[in-house]
Amino acid sequence: MLKPIIPLSSLHVSIASGMVKVCFGKQMWRSIELARSELRLELTLACGQSFRWRETAEGHWTGVMGGRVWTLTQTDTRLWYYVYKHQQDSTHRRWTEEDREPEAKYEVDVKAEALPYRGEEEELLRDYFQLNVNFEELYKDWGERDTHFKKTADIFSGVRMLRQDPTECLFSFICTSNNHISRIQGMVERLCQSLGTKLCLLDETSYHDFPALSTLAESSVEVRLRDLGFGYRAKFLQQSAKTILDSHGSHWLGGLRNIPYLEARDALRTLSGVGTKVADCVCLMSLDKPEAVPIDTHVWQIAKRDYNFVSNTGQKTITDKLHRDIGDFFRKLWGPYAGWAQSVLFCSDLKKFQHLKKTPVTKEQKREIKCEADDNETVQCKVMKKEKIKAQRPMSKKTTKVTGR
């Protein structure tokens, strides 16, 4: 029998084919047990993997995923999520301690194989963040292989690789050519608002789904996107969508998940505006190829500066051979999840996260700094200095004897 640990008035329970399904009477925050060491939202969602997430309140990230609008936040032990209804005209929902209610956990005594029903939204979230991968074990393995990574991992834990929709990932990364993260975000947002289906309105901001392949392939799209400031990328977007539909079909991109990494990468490179780096990003971030290591000038500098990587030919630009050589170097160093490890170092090198590398100053250190800078010492400062000098003096034999008792 079902024994709910939340009020019966707040849920409806149905049992069919041995499966337990729970439907809540009102919309609410849900959560997944997940430590920050396994996922840090502020790093993972802002390091240039996806361009659909914004920090809409302190520690609250709102974005579009799986045709839904979400707000995510986290505590030390749980990932909290709120999913907005379509066409909802409302304000962003902020998580508070009042939302910390018992989870829908049940003692189930139906069929032996029956399991608690997680719900479609939780499954989407688990798939998106690839929660089936034990990230702490990966960090441990990389740290044992690489001392430089171990130092970085102590600060940048939880930089998790997303598993994005292949269409959204591909066409977002076509926009990254000669671009930076904030500008790419703006372009992707304009693309969705112009061509995507509206999902809901929050705080006077419209949220739209990513455009379908059929929409992107329309002949009028190039001109429309040029008017929106996409420049030469407008042609790449429209032509790539048309090529996929005309030559491969609408399910082709998803099917690349089922073929080897190098085959998938070469297939992507046949599309307009897709070079080796973009193809590797798509392979890593949406096509289940964790060994793909995207190489740009930023990663090349990391390889040279932190790993003493030297090209045999001394190139000044990234050729296909150099891309392969650096990728192979990191794959040999980090193993089958090399692309995940590379993303941690890439994130740690972004300017927006450099403040995390600074050692925080304790209250005691702040007081000492203030004392040293103050010409007119207070009594408290004099006491601190006296205690500091006393602590630095070597113990006398008499003191040692007394202490030994």
What pLDDT does 177 receive?
A: 85
What pLDDT does 210 receive?
A: 97
Please name the residue ranges forming H helices in 146-244. Answer: 147-153, 166-174, 181-195, 213-216, 221-227, 233-243
DSSP class of 116? B
143 to each of 153, 292, 334, how far by Cα in Å? 8, 19, 9
373 to each of 360, 367, 369, 378, how far by Cα in Å? 19, 10, 6, 12
Identified catalytic residue from 26, 198, 242, 277: 277
How many CB atoms within 10 Å of residue 347? 21
State the Cα torsion 291-175-124-215 to the nearest 10°.
-130
* Alpha-carbon gap, residue 171 to 404, rounded angstroms: 71
Give buried/exposed letters for 77-90 (b at 16+ CB in 10 A, else e): ebbbbbbbeeeeee
Within 13 Å, how many C-alpha atoms sit on residue 78's CB side? 14
Q: What is the mean pLDDT of the chain?
A: 81
What pLDDT does 144 receive?
A: 94
Tell me the torsion sign for CA atoms 292, 297, 303, 308.
positive
Positions of the chain with pLDDT lower than 70, given as ranges: 1-27, 87-90, 97-98, 100-118, 312-314, 359-405
DSSP-assigned letters across all residues of 230-272: -TTHHHHHHHHHHHIIIII-TTHHHHGGGS-HHHHHHHHTTST
Residue 292 contacts residue 261 (beta carbons within 8 Å):
yes
Q: Answer yes or no: pTM beyond 0.75.
A: yes
Active-site residue flag, 397: no
What pLDDT does 104 receive?
A: 41
What pLDDT does 28 receive?
A: 85
